[in-house]
Every structure is written in C-alpha cells, then in structure tokens.
Amino acid sequence: MIRKTALIASVSLAAMAVPAAAQDTATLQAEMAEMRAQMAAMAARMNELEQELADVDAEAETASAQAATATAMAENAVTAVQDKPAPQVTFKGMPEIKADGGWSFKPRGRLQYDAGIVSAPDGAGDDGFGSEARRARLGASGSIPGGFGYKIELDFAGSDLTVTDAIITYKDDGLKVSAGHFNTFQGLEELTSSVHTTFLERAAFTDAFGFERRVGLGVEYTAGDLLLQGGVFSDNMDDLSNKNWSADGRAVFMPKMGDTQLHLGGSVHYTGLEDASTVRYRQRPLVHFTSDRYVNTGNLAATSELGLGLEAAIIAGPFHAQAETYWQKVDTPIGAANPTFFGGYASVGYYLTKGDTRGYKGGVFGRAKPANPVGEGGLGSVQVNLRYDRLDLNDAGILGGTQDGYFASIAWKPTDYTMLLLNYGRLDYSDAALTATNGDTDYSVDVLGMRAQIDF
C-alpha cells in the first residue's frame, strides 16, 4: 500500500515537472537569442571601435609628420634669421637705419630762427626790428632695393604747410634720375642747401629771378670730374595747374688738385609761359623777415624767359671763394622791348680755427664739420666771409632799380649740425622802387641779422 502510494506520488510529481521544464526551456531559448543579439551588437561595436582606433592612429601619424615638418621649417626660419645681418643703425644728426637688401630710412629736418634790424631812410619802407622762423622742416629720406630712393620734406614756417621736396630717385653707377618736386639745375648758390650757405640769404638774383622748386623729371650723370644735369619741369606745386613749362641744363667740371677743390660750371634755363602771363622781378635787402623790396620791376607781360649762368669756386684748406653771374632775358609780346637783367656776386671766406675747411660734394657746397667740436674739448669752427652782390633790374626802358650789396658774416659751428650766424650788410640803391620822404630814390640801407640753426 505504501509502495503504491509512493508510486502514485512520483507519477504526479513527474507530470507536474514536464510543463515547468518546457517553460524553462522556452525562456532559456529567448534569453540565449537575446544574448546572441547582444553579442552580435558588441562584435559590431568592437569592429567600429577598431576602425576608429585605426583612424586615430592614422591621424596621429599625419599630425606627427606635420609637426615634424613645422619644426623643421621653424628651425630653418630661425637659422635664416640668425644668418641674416641685423639692421644697422648709425647716427648722422638723427638715427639712420640700414637693412639688408638696400633698405634705409632716416628722419631729417632743419630749424632756423632769424632776427635783426633794417635801417632805411625816412619814408623808404617799414624798417626796424624783425624776426621770423625762416625754415622749420621735417621729413625723411632713404633707399629702396633696386637702386631706388625717396625724399620728402614739409616746411611749417610762417604757419603755412609747404611741400619743399617730394622726390623719387633711381641711381645706377654715375646715373641718377629724379621725378617729383625738387630744385631745378640753376647754379651753385641755388643748389647749395640753406644749411650750408655762409650768409643769411642766397645771392640776390636767385630770389629776384624766381629760382624755385618745380614738378618735373631730372637726369644727372657723373663721369669722373664731370657732372651733367638736365631736366624738364612744369611749375611749382603750389602754382599748378597751368600751362607753364621749363627746361634746365647744367654742366660742372670739378677736379681736385691735391688738397685743392676746383669748380667751374655753367647753366641754361628756359621757361615757356602760357598766354597773358606776367613776370615780376624784385628783391628784399638781404634778410627775409622784411616785406620791403627796394628793387622791383613791377608786372611785365611776357611769353618766355631765358637764363644763362656761369659759376666758379675754389676750396684750399681754410680758404674758399666763389662767384656767379646770371643774365635773365624776358621775351615780351610783339612790339615791346625785350629786357635783359643781370645778377652776380663774388665772395671769399676763411676759417680761423685750425683744421677746418668748407665741405663740397657732387657739384655743390656740403656740410662743414668742425675739426674740434664742442663736447670733444674744442670750440667748434669759426668762419669769416665777405661778399659783393650785384642786381641790376634796369634795361630796355624798365627802371626796376639796381642793388649793390656789401656783406660780412661770421659763422660759428659748435658741432656738425648746429650754427650761429651773424651777418651785416650795406646795400646801395639807385632808382629804388621805394621813395624816401625827401623824394630821393638813390640811397643806402643798413641791415644786421643773425640766425640760430640746427639741422639733422
């Protein structure tokens, strides 16, 4: 009985276990399928990660190669910079910067203050004390690779902004080509810089005959002791636009014989004037700060001007001398007389200080450098000068007057770039444009002027 009962129980338990086992198998199969799907997804993801890792490795290799290239380029650049000469800085009144390849840059300028007294007969002009900033210039000059150069200067004197020089140049051995606004080739006195002249103002004829800077093209050629200059020009920048034009030529022979510098030259100038033009020739008594002109032709109808000049100079140790003559012919309209006016001067100078001499370079007077400047145990240079200056504006029935100037000056240069200048002048007039109270037009005017100057 007991066995039967146990058998029945076992059969019952087996019957109950069959559905449970079937249920577990289905669940297991589902779970296995899910696991297989997850494993497949994991395998796919691993493949993606392996590809991404390969891409990263490739990018890293590329970046490493680029970094190596950049490092090499940087090292080459550093080497090139180290091998390239550094810009050179020298001091010539102001710092001058010179770089490899032909680049250079230098600030430049000058400041001149004038003061003095003009003593004239009663009624003949507004005499007495006067002063002015004669020149106040700032600019720069330098060179550009290929033989090119530049120079620009602006003048602020008199509260007016004026362009003095604005030049582009090209140089090749003895050849120099200039284009822009610059001084025409009208003689030794005119082309010598105002910081290197020995009197307050240049010779009377240079101002009276209208020598000035003009816009144009100039060519210069130097071969040994010979200098040739020529150019074609329009007019001064402040007077454009008009139809005036001019042509200039100058030749200089400048041999050096031992320690003696000789200078012989001549120039020719022609100006064509537009219709209905007039010219006027007049001049102040030595100093610029007075507005009185004691010789004056008044306005003359003109169609052209022709100028001819001769020049000579010598520098021998402490001694120097120079002279120029100039004839200015005016062509007037048909039926009128064609006057020819004259200007000229002769001057001598001597250095009282040992070892000093006047500078000369390129057909003009240049910078005089004291042998013993102030600051180096010396007194600088002391120079005395005398000049006779003639201007004749009487011809062909025109009475512009004559001016005979007798000048003396003393110039003290403490350093290369500073100067104090004292100038006395006595000017004898005939047929003066300004009449004295007593009706006289033949009289004398005395002038005393001084200048303080610095340039760089």
Residue length, the chain? 456
What average pLDDT score do residues 221-225 get?
98
Residue type, 85: P
CB 287 within 8 A of CB 118: yes
The least confident of 21-25, 162-166, 258-262 is 21-25
How many other C-beta atoms are found inside a 10 Å radius of the C-beta of residue 164?
18
For residue 204, give the nearest of 119, 125, 283 by alpha carbon: 283
More confident residue, 26 or 256: 256
pLDDT > 90 fraction of the chain, expressed in percent and rounded: 76
**What confidence category does residue 84 fall into, taking pLDDT thresholds of 50, 70 and 90?**
low
CB 318 within 8 A of CB 265: no
Classified as helix, coil or strand, 156 is coil
What average pLDDT score do residues 331-351 get?
94
Res 367 pLDDT > 90? yes
What average pLDDT score do residues 417-426 get?
98
**What confidence category does residue 23 fall into, taking pLDDT thresholds of 50, 70 and 90?**
low
**What confidence category does residue 79 fall into, taking pLDDT thresholds of 50, 70 and 90?**
low
What average pLDDT score do residues 362-386 get?
97
What average pLDDT score do residues 123-139 get?
96
What average pLDDT score do residues 251-257 get?
98
Query: What pLDDT is recorded for position 9?
Result: 47
Backbone angles phi, psi at 389, to 5 degrees: -130, 125
What average pLDDT score do residues 1-25 get?
49
For residue 227, give the nearest of 188, 275, 183, 265 by alpha carbon: 265
CA gap 105, 219 in Å, rounded: 23
Query: What pLDDT is recorded for position 230?
Result: 98
Res 5 pLDDT > 80? no
**What confidence category does residue 11 fall into, taking pLDDT thresholds of 50, 70 and 90?**
very low
**What confidence category does residue 82 fall into, taking pLDDT thresholds of 50, 70 and 90?**
low
Backbone angles phi, psi at 237, to 5 degrees: -55, -35
Retrieve residue 378's tokens.
């010396």
Res 352 pLDDT > 60? yes
More confident residue, 240 or 49: 240
Query: What pLDDT is recorded for position 48?
Result: 81
The least confident of 91-95, 258-262, 297-301 is 91-95
* Measured torsion, CA atoms of residues 455, 193, 197, 451, in degrees rounded to the nearest 10: -40
**What confidence category does residue 80 fall into, taking pLDDT thresholds of 50, 70 and 90?**
low
pTM score, whole prediction: 0.81
Res 454 pLDDT > 80? yes
CATH of 89-455 given 2.40.160.10, 2.40.110.10, 1.20.120.430, 3.30.70.1890: 2.40.160.10
Backbone angles phi, psi at 112, to 5 degrees: -130, 120
CA gap 410, 42 in Å, rounded: 105
More confident residue, 81 or 318: 318
What average pLDDT score do residues 404-411 get?
98
How many other C-beta atoms are found inside a 10 Å radius of the C-beta of residue 221?
14
Give domain limits for the chain: 1-84, 89-455
Query: What pLDDT is recorded for position 78?
Result: 59
What average pLDDT score do residues 108-112 get?
97
